Amino acid sequence: MNIKDKKTARALIEAAGRLFSISGIDAVTTRAISLEAGGIDISLIKYYFGGKDGLIQAVAETAMRPLQEYSLEEYYRKNSSLLSTRDGQKAFVSGMIEVIFNRFDKTVPDGWRKGFLLQILQKRGMDPMRKNLIETYMKPMVAVFARVYCEVTGNDDFETALCWYLFVTAQLFLYSGDTDLVDLLHPETKVGNGFSRRLQYFCTQEVLRGFHLTDDTAKTRAESSVVSEMA
């Protein structure tokens, strides 16, 4: 593509992404996309992308690309030596939560991308984009999280580790995916600029407790035992 073609294709991707994140992928027409892109000829969607499905794929690739910048697997490879001591374990787990927050809260630019990724995750069944997002970016993070949980606590119950992973990511997705919702819960309809860091801090403290790395270790181990018995 020449510079003009790349600019036009980019405008269509951005316009489609904005509409998809607001209205849902299935509800948006190619005509609406062409209008959102400033009146670009609708036939160019087929010319550049082969049709709406190809444009959807291009939007997905654009939204997912920033997720490659923060890898929990790479963090583990570089810092796993910390797991040999209790203080090191605290530092490692705290850093692990920061990587998870950074991957979605900071790496993915503000705008339509976060909303679009959540649209993909909310699709049901074996949708190819949803499967790709989960297999490529989420499952590897869960595997590392569960491995660390086992190494730190000695508990190899994957589902307990998964509960802690979901505890972190569910709150993160809720806040990052729809900050307006969180703002509406505030008496002044606007949370402070440091709210994300505060949320990360609370998640980190609870996960440290769940990994038996706080002073109330005995209580936490007892609770963990009860949870394991639920399985």
pLDDT digits (tens, 9 = 90+) for 162-215: 999 999 988 877 776 666 778 888 999 988 888 888 999 999 999 999 999 998
Average pLDDT, the chain: 87
- Supply 68's token pair: 């490659």
Taking each helix axis from N to C end, the angle separating 86-101 and 72-79, rounded to the nearest 10 degrees, works out to 160
Neighbouring CB atoms inside 10 A of 208's CB total 18
pLDDT at 124: 80
Residues 204 and 95: beta-carbon distance below 8 Å: no
Cα torsion 135, 136, 140, 141: sign: negative
| More reliable by pLDDT, 90 or 171 | 90
The pTM of the full predicted model, rounded to 2 decimals, is 0.79
| Interior angle at CA 134, CA 133 and CA 138, nearest 5 | 105
| More reliable by pLDDT, 219 or 156 | 156
pLDDT at 110: 61
State in Å, rounded, how far the first CA of the chain is from the last one: 55
Write the pLDDT tens digit of every residue in 33-64. Answer: 999 999 999 999 999 999 999 999 999 999 88
Domains of the chain, each with CATH number or no CATH: 3-63 (1.10.10.60), 70-230 (no CATH)
Q: What is the CA radius of gyration of the chain?
A: 21
- φ, ψ for residue 118 (rounded to 5)? -65, -35
Alpha carbons 59 and 9: distance in angstroms, whole number = 11
Alpha carbons 122 and 21: distance in angstroms, whole number = 12
| More reliable by pLDDT, 17 or 71 | 17
Taking each helix axis from N to C end, the angle separating 52-64 and 112-121, rounded to the nearest 10 degrees, works out to 110
**Ordered alpha helix ranges (H), the chain:** 3-23, 30-36, 43-49, 52-64, 72-79, 86-101, 112-121, 128-133, 139-153, 158-177, 179-185, 195-210, 217-230
Distances in Å between the alpha carbon of 111 and those of 100, 120, 124, 164, 180? 19, 16, 24, 28, 12
Alpha carbons 74 and 12: distance in angstroms, whole number = 34
Q: What three-state secondary structure class fits 113?
A: helix
Tokens 């923060």 — which residue?
70
Alpha carbons 227 and 202: distance in angstroms, whole number = 21
